Amino acid sequence: MKSLKSFSHLFLILLSSSVFSQVQRSRLVTLMGSKFEITLVDKDSLSAEKNIDKSVSEIRRIENLISEWNPETQISEVNRNAGIKPVKVDAEVFALTEKGIYFSQLTDGAFDISIVAMDKIWKFDDSMNELPSEESIRNSVKNVGYQNIILDKSNSTIFLKNKGMKIGFGSIGKGYAADKTRELMKSFGVKAGIINASGDISTWGTQPDGTPWAIGINNPFRDDTIAAVLYLKENAVTTSGSYEKYAEINGKRYSHIMNPKTGYPSTGLTSVTVVGSNATMANGFSTSIMVLGRKKGLKLIKKFPDYQYLLITDAGKIIKKLTE
């Protein structure tokens, strides 16, 4: 018997494990401000539950390093010292910041971890009926700019050049946590599992009957259908989308995913799904493509043939290169 478990953009299609020698256990928890579902295939129930506990601890460990909302984290310390002094951070935090800047350079600033400093002048709760003024939009990005994130690898420090700057990892942090948890579970000998960080997914191994993990991608324009089904083993898949959180003004849809260069929301694409070896990279690509739009986004992802994609435009057109 099959059960269907849904998150905002993706469906996990899980097969009951009761008839197989291995057990499959799942737990839904709130971490990093989002819903995580941890599913492990393990030798017995006790081992599975203990390993789920370890997975939760790993995600909390990452949250306590990179959350910009928790004042005790290293990233909060970096943000407090913007325009004042460099802050020494762990190698892991430094490397994730490097990854963020890599995507900024790759996309000419369409992806930017300093976007968290952007003034919140757009509302995506159905309360907006006209565009903000051009002046307020220009001013909203005055503290955004990856070029002003200064990294010193020899001292493992991060310095935000201008006062008022902030960095955060809402764009790739959950995907990174999913990847690190997968890595940890594999090191403990857990043969298979799926870490679903609110739709940013890392998988390994197979379901107890030997079949791959099945991931369904939502079609936002047809509630009764899915756009594609992916069959994954050692893979990751992420989706960035605007169809649950957006503003519609004068008949045009504006996504909650913002363009850090212009201060305007992204338009043209309703959702972007990217499949690859790890969720951190897939997350970076899916967010970047939403901002870049269809033409520039496709030009970018086609430079990375190991990554597959499915784009759904605001008009409902599906553009894909997927192995289903």
Could you tell me which residues are annotated as the binding site for Mg(2+)?
171, 287
For residue 321, the tally of other CB atoms under 10 A from its CB is 14
Taking the CB of residue 261, how many other CB atoms lie within 10 A of it?
Answer: 16
Binding site members = 171, 287
The kind and range of the H/E element at 40 are: strand 34-42
Q: Which residues pair with 236 in a beta bridge?
A: 202, 276
- CA-based nearest residue to 278, from 297, 310, 304, 242: 304
Return the SS3 of 83: coil
Residue 175 has, within 13 A of its CA and on its CB side, a CA count of 28
Instruction: Give the C-alpha separation, 38 to 55, whole Å.
Output: 8
Residue 285: phi and psi, rounded to 5, are -70, -45
For every residue of 193-244, DSSP letters joined together read EEEEETTEEEEES--TTSPPEEEEEE-TT-TT-EEEEEEESSEEEEEEE-SS
Determine contact, residues 31/19, Cβ cutoff 8 Å: no
**Distance between CA atoms of residues 58 and 65, nearest Å:** 11
CA distance 74 to 66: 7
CB 147 within 8 Å of CB 70: no
C-alpha 108/C-alpha 115 separation (Å) is 14
